[in-house]
Amino acid sequence: MNRLTDRQKQVFEFVRNTILRTGVAPTLREIAAQFRFRSVKAAADHVAALRRKGLLTWTPRQARALQLMAYLPILGGSQTEKTDNASNALPAIRHAVAQLPIYGSIPAGFAQEHAQENKGHVAIDLGLLGIRPTARTFVLEVRGDSMIGRHIVDGDLVVLEHGRTPRNGDVVAALIDNESTLKTFVQERGRQPYLKAENPKYPKLYPANELVIQGVMVGLIRRMKPTAGNPAPRGT
């Protein structure tokens, strides 16, 4: 695999930082505007090169469908498993890799009673996700579709920071009246904060007694689903 050109590195960093900051990928027009390309085709060519080199993936027929592709194997317990793409996926961008604990799943639907469980660890490329994990950083697996408006779907892994004060619009893992859920935190001036779903099928959630923020989302990991004849690696 060829190394990235300077411009490809810049485009990748822009796509990555936009996803981490807003939760969604930039459009080709936004990429073209950022780098003052004369046409959208120039942006499309750079994105195509990044896809060929294994840094980005794209879902057809979806808006803002670019996703980051990193070396993110799921590890069971303390056992480390290597995959063939570990040495090839990111030859031009090397960063430290950290293992974060996966504390079970979280409903992205209606709030539910949910006990925390340890489901092993996930290895993440710190530079690619742009985070600095601490002892309070952890991961939860998403179950449900209430956050699809923020491009968070069933099966995704959300990286959260415990103890961080949420800002208006942050995605949070929360206990609302002792039930667990993943939602957008909304704080309106002079009003009680509440949780907002990013899917019109679900109502806003107002605490009757207590709202406890367990973690603020700082990153998102998407595991690609295996295709027929190409099973997922052991441990995923």
> Annotated catalytic residue: which of 53, 119, 183, 196?
183
CA atoms within 13 A on the CB side of 148: 12
> Annotated catalytic residue: which of 119, 146, 180, 196?
146
6 CB-contact burial (10 Å; exposed 0-12 / middle 13-18 / buried 19+): exposed
Backbone dihedral angles phi then psi of residue 153, each to the nearest 5 degrees: -120, 165
SS3 content of the chain, % helix, strand, coil (to 5): 20, 30, 50
Determine the residue type at 67.
Q
Q: Which residues contact 221 (CB under 8 A, 6 or more apart)?
A: 70, 72, 122, 124, 129, 139, 156, 157, 158, 159
Alpha helices in 87-186 (DSSP H): 126-129
To the query of whether residue 196 is one of the catalytic residues in this protein, the response is no
Tokens of 85: 């793409």
For the beta sheet containing 157-161, the strands, ordered from the edge strand earlier in sequence to the opposite edge, are 74-75, 121-125, 97-107, 137-143, 157-161, 211-221, 171-176, 179-186, 194-196
Helical packing angle, 6-22 and 28-35, nearest 10°: 120
Report the 10 Å Cβ neighbour count for 182: 31
To the query of whether residue 183 is one of the catalytic residues in this protein, the response is yes
The catalytic residues are: 146, 183
